[in-house]
């Protein structure tokens, strides 16, 4: 007879299996641990009648997806199957559902999220997905695959722009003294210069406009003009910096750099005279 809170957990990684099993037992569940498809098959045939099966995709030998298919073919799938996978690869997730799985979660998810999915399926008291609902989820997964592919293409374009702008800025900054950027005024000027160039670069790109602060942070890291902590702090206060004269001057210089060096193919403006430009400016 099926126990309402019993779980068959098939996972070959003993550490992960131990951590998740302990969390499940702390919630009052009975957990039967197995480390291979073969052991899981024997359990289903001879001993265990679980209310839920948590099944690792990447089992040694017979993998989790093929094991699920086998249970379905032998009409031995008597409980919902929650796939546990190390990958968010869309093809893998689709294969889990197509094989007869009822749900999936990523191994790197917080334990609380895994427990939430377990609780959901146990509350259903053994009710598995209907074929109609499974097909609807498959359709959603396929739709997600399209959206993810489009996002990856945008990310490639994003990184291409970061790399191109970063390379030009590094060349422009190569004439600076080694210690330039040690004072607040110098850091402010560098931030303004990169902000002006990045703003011009993003001017005709909707994807960069929408993610402008991400684009600016990425450019700052690419050029290594500021430390990660300085860049994060100064970008967070960007709105307050537009009133600072040296920042506005730097933005104008950065914008000219983009127009002349990138669009016009000219030589980047030398920044070797920055110290003279900054003379007399307060360290604001």
Asked, for residue 103, whether it belongs to a domain, the answer is: yes
Do 227 and 124 belong together in one domain?
A: no
The residue to which tokens 């609902």 are assigned? 133
Asked, for residue 135, whether it belongs to a domain, the answer is: no
Q: What per-residue confidence (pLDDT) applies to 126?
A: 63
Give per-residue pLDDT as tens, 198-251.
888 887 677 777 788 888 999 999 888 888 888 888 888 888 887 888 888 899
Asked, for residue 54, whether it belongs to a domain, the answer is: yes
Residue 59 CA to residue 66 CA, distance in Å, equals: 10
Do 155 and 274 belong together in one domain?
A: yes
In this predicted structure, the answer to whether residue 279 has a pLDDT above a threshold of 50 is: no
Q: What per-residue confidence (pLDDT) applies to 207?
A: 72
Q: What per-residue confidence (pLDDT) applies to 4?
A: 55
The residue to which tokens 């919630």 are assigned? 27
How many C-beta atoms lie closer than 10 Å to residue 38's C-beta? 14
Range of lowest pLDDT (86-95, 104-113, 151-160, 237-246): 151-160
Residue 273's domain comprises: 151-278
Asked, for residue 32, whether it belongs to a domain, the answer is: yes
Q: pLDDT > 70: what percent of the chain?
A: 82
Residue 101 CA to residue 108 CA, distance in Å, equals: 19
Angular region, 161: left φ>0, alpha ψ -120 to 50, beta rest = alpha
Would you call 55 helix, strand, or coil by DSSP? strand
Q: What per-residue confidence (pLDDT) applies to 66?
A: 95
Give per-residue pLDDT as tens, 126-141.
677 777 777 877 777 7
What total number of domains does the chain contain?
A: 2
């Amino acid at each position: 007879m099926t126990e309402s809170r019993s779980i068959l957990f098939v996972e070959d990684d003993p550490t992960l299996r131990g951590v998740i099993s302990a969390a499940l037992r702390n919630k009052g569940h009975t957990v039967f641990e197995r480390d291979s498809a073969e052991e899981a098959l024997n359990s289903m045939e001879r001993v265990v009648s679980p209310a839920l099966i948590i099944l690792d995709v990447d089992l040694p030998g017979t993998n989790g997806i093929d094991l699920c298919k086998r249970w379905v073919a032998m009409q031995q799938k008597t409980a919902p199957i929650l796939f546990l996978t190390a990958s968010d690869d869309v093809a893998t997730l689709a294969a889990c559902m197509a094989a007869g799985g009822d749900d999936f979660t990523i191994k790197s998810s917080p334990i609380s999220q895994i427990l939430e999915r377990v609780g959901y399926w146990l509350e259903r008291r053994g009710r598995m997905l209907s074929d109609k609902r499974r097909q609807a989820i498959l359709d959603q997964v396929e739709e997600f695959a399209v959206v993810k592919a489009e996002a990856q293409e945008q990310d490639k374009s994003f990184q291409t722009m970061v790399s191109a702008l970063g390379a030009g800025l590094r060349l422009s900054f190569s004439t600076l003294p080694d210690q330039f950027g040690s004072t607040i005024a110098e850091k402010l000027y560098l931030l303004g210069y990169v902000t002006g160039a990045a703003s011009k670069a993003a001017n005709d790109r909707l994807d960069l406009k929408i993610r402008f602060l991400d684009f600016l942070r990425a450019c700052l890291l690419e050029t290594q003009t500021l430390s990660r902590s300085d860049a994060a702090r100064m970008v967070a206060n960007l709105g307050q910096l537009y009133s600072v004269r040296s920042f506005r001057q730097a933005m104008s210089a950065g914008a000219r750099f983009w127009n002349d060096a990138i669009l016009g193919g000219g030589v980047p403006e030398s920044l070797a005279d920055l110290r003279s430009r900054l003379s007399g400016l307060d360290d604001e």
